[in-house]
Amino acid sequence: MSTTKKAKKHGAGHDAPQHARTRPTTLDPDWEVAPTESLRAPVGFDLAAFDRGSTPGFAGGKAAGQALVARHADELSELQERLFAEGRSGGSRSVLLVLQGMDTAGKGGIVRHVVGLVDPQGVAHRSFGVPTPEEREHDYLWRIRRALPEPGYIGVFDRSHYEDVLVARVDALVPPDVWEARYDEINRFEEEIVASGTIVVKVALLVSYEEQRARLMERLERPDKFWKYNPNDVDSRQKWPAYQEAYQAVLDRTSTEIAPWHVVPADRKWFARLAVSELLLDALRRLDLGWPPADFDVEVEKKRLAAT
Amino acid sequence: MSTTKKAKKHGAGHDAPQHARTRPTTLDPDWEVAPTESLRAPVGFDLAAFDRGSTPGFAGGKAAGQALVARHADELSELQERLFAEGRSGGSRSVLLVLQGMDTAGKGGIVRHVVGLVDPQGVAHRSFGVPTPEEREHDYLWRIRRALPEPGYIGVFDRSHYEDVLVARVDALVPPDVWEARYDEINRFEEEIVASGTIVVKVALLVSYEEQRARLMERLERPDKFWKYNPNDVDSRQKWPAYQEAYQAVLDRTSTEIAPWHVVPADRKWFARLAVSELLLDALRRLDLGWPPADFDVEVEKKRLAAT
């Protein structure tokens, strides 16, 4: 109703009637195209041509984006609680948010500002850095498996098994035939975890070369940001083309029907946060979460309690 | 200045000049006595006489309490970030918040509403339920040690090693000489972790017998709360006097100079949340956290970056 009207007003009208027709009623009018559609890496996605300052599908500006995150916070939080309740009541489902991106792409900000909207009790956050000696003794998926979210949890991976086809490929940490085989291994691995009841939301935060320079420079200019800087960040930056090639291969070879990649322009922080917040909300909505029924006799318990 | 004036206006004047004299300048005027003082379990603390609907040291009401939590949120969040930065830069310090309380005392609400104020990236939350078979194969402190916060983190224990002198004592899960020995063991254990750089903030959330009944009844009346109810909760409630005795022993024997207990009346949720928020903030302030200096040559890095 009024949603449809507003959507038209914001530009989803004449030249995009197919979106106007299929837009879910829950979609905020500022989305001309649902973020699950507008951000999903299409077949043949061309990373080099991607505008990292754009806001695909979203007609609003920064204020509208921030307002929408705030407006959806309660629903996000309640659905997370339902998921947690389900996990406590014998359910097996969970959500895994995989965040990948070059340094300064904003992974940390997503965790603080988006994941921070829900109850920390139901969040299992894990950063994957350089493997520890113990981790190195095992297959690259070993540490990943151990960090998968338990039923009821939202798992958050700040970097992930994709590092094993990104830095591992760029820096030749393993021979080509080894990283080459990993794309299929990762697809099979993700099939497994999806089959076990985990919704996998994969997000590539794509920051531009220029914006990365500016953000790194800020870390060098502000003493409260020194701790975020590592000389290694410039080393990686010097390998930018090789990293872009490795990201392109990830998007080409591991964006599957069951665990698609979302490509999120990250030059505007507000948009990246909005995008991830909406993708997470969509994942939770798809679970169609109710409240678990009582596994005890409510009337009997009321009497027992009243007698105390 | 104006802080002192307001404090007097709110009642810390004539009959409590000793507090007015020593109140830290950072203390909000609504606190007549600093929460670290007003909530700290004194020697000879009498649990039976404790008013669980009171707001020790705080002159304001619910609105003032909620406003103060909101007003301190940014500082809490920034200090947490500084702690995290320190941990990333080779520091060894951390904070451990230990939450104990009977069912419905509000531990979960504290995690959501207080711990939820800081970046989830820097929080290590852990609930301790009935020990798993693996945990049972080890000493009761084994699972606790494994869950201690890494440097830079705020660890949150929802229940803790104190269960091993609470339910273990009440339900006689181990012989008396075993739980009897644990008080001293726990004190030594906490000495160790404090010495290693962890500030331990212990909070006993004390809900009244009547309020617990009302909260359990609500869980039986609202289908969205069934999942929080367990028939076992009434079993424990039926042992209320034995639990109070066990809590009294905990407070008598494990409130030490280095890791004192705070007794927080929990019948008013807003006060319990305010209290824990202030205790956590105090712990972080005591660390006197700066920002870690650069461990690289800033000017050299700026040039390297500019050249890319």
Q: How confident is the model over B209-225, as pLDDT tens digits?
A: 999 999 999 999 999 99
pLDDT for res A1: 32
Domain ranges of chain B: 1-33, 35-288
Please state, in angstroms and as integers, the Cα–Cα distance from residue A127 to each residue in A143, A181, A285, B121, B284, following that order.
11, 24, 26, 8, 23
**Does residue B56 contact residue B262 with C-beta atoms inside 8 Å?**
no
Burial A213-251 (b: 16+ CB within 10 A, else e): bebbbebbeeeebbbbbbeebbebbeeeeebbebbebbb
Tell me if chain B has a CB within 8 Å of the CB of A115: yes
Interface of A with B in 126-185 (CB under 8 A): 127, 156, 158
pLDDT for res B23: 52
Nearest CB to A234 within list B111, B234, B301:
B301
Burial of B250 (0-12, 13-18, 19+ CB in 10 A): buried
pLDDT for res B267: 98
Average pLDDT over residues A160-187: 98
CA distance B218 to B226: 9
Residue B221: its chain A contacts at CB < 8 A? 302
Is A305 in Cβ contact with B216 (below 8 Å)? yes
Interface of A with B in 231-260 (CB under 8 A): 231, 234, 237-238, 240
CA distance B260 to B254: 7
DSSP 8-state assignment for residue A101: E
**Does residue A126 contact residue A99 with C-beta atoms inside 8 Å?**
no
Task: Pick B35-288's CATH classification: 3.40.50.10490, 3.40.50.300, 3.40.50.11540, 3.20.20.70.
Answer: 3.40.50.300
What is the token pair recorded at A165? 């086809």
Nearest CB to B121 within list A111, A230, A292:
A111
Look at the block and give the residue holding tokens 């644990």: B182
Percent of chain A residues past pLDDT 90, beyond the cut:
91
The two beta strands, B123-127 and A123-127, are unpaired
Nearest chain A Cα distance for residue B159, angstroms: 13
pLDDT for res B215: 98
Closest residue in chain A to residue B299, using alpha carbons only: A220
Q: Evaluate whether the domain defined by A34-289 bears CATH number 3.40.190.10.
A: no
**Does residue B131 contact residue B143 with C-beta atoms inside 8 Å?**
yes
- Tens of pLDDT, residues A130-139: 999 999 999 9
Burial of A111 (0-12, 13-18, 19+ CB in 10 A): buried
Is B125 in Cβ contact with A121 (below 8 Å)? yes
Is A120 in Cβ contact with B125 (below 8 Å)? yes
pLDDT for res A4: 35
Nearest chain B Cα distance for residue A81, angstroms: 10
Q: Which residues, listed in sequence order, are joined to residue A98 by a DSSP beta bridge? A: A157, A202
Closest residue in chain B to residue A220, using alpha carbons only: B298
CA distance B162 to B141: 10
Is B111 in Cβ contact with A119 (below 8 Å)? yes
Residue B294: its chain A contacts at CB < 8 A? 223, 226, 229
Q: Is A42 helix (H, G, I), strand (E, B) or coil?
A: coil
Low-confidence ranges of chain B (pLDDT < 70): 1-25
Which pairs with CB-CB distance under 8 Å and at least 24 residues apart come from B297-302?
B298/A220, B298/A226, B301/A220, B301/A229, B301/A231, B301/A234, B302/A217, B302/A220
B215: alpha, beta or left? (left if phi > 0; alpha if psi -120 to 50): alpha
What is the token pair recorded at A121? 């009790």
pLDDT for res B166: 98
User: In the predicted model, is pLDDT for residue A17 greater than 60?
Assistant: no
Question: Which distant-in-sequence residues (6+ apart) come within 8 Å of A271 by Cβ?
Answer: A55, A58, A62, A65, A264, A265
Q: What is the mean pLDDT of chain B?
A: 93
**Does residue B195 contact residue B86 with C-beta atoms inside 8 Å?**
no
Residue A220: its chain B contacts at CB < 8 A? 298, 301-302, 305
pLDDT for res B21: 42
CA distance B219 to B237: 15
Nearest CB to B112 within list A121, A238, A298:
A121
Q: What is the mean pLDDT of chain A?
A: 93
pLDDT for res B163: 98
What is the token pair recorded at B224? 């969205």
- Tens of pLDDT, residues A193-205: 999 999 999 999 9
What is the token pair recorded at B252? 């008598």
CA distance B162 to B173: 14
pLDDT for res B26: 73
**Does residue A213 contact residue A234 with C-beta atoms inside 8 Å?**
no
B165: alpha, beta or left? (left if phi > 0; alpha if psi -120 to 50): alpha
pLDDT for res B6: 36
Torsion angles phi and psi, residue A148, rounded to 5: -60, 145
Closest residue in chain A to residue B90, using alpha carbons only: A227
Look at the block and give the residue holding tokens 């699972």: B143
Is B216 in Cβ contact with A298 (below 8 Å)? no
Residue A87: its chain B contacts at CB < 8 A? none
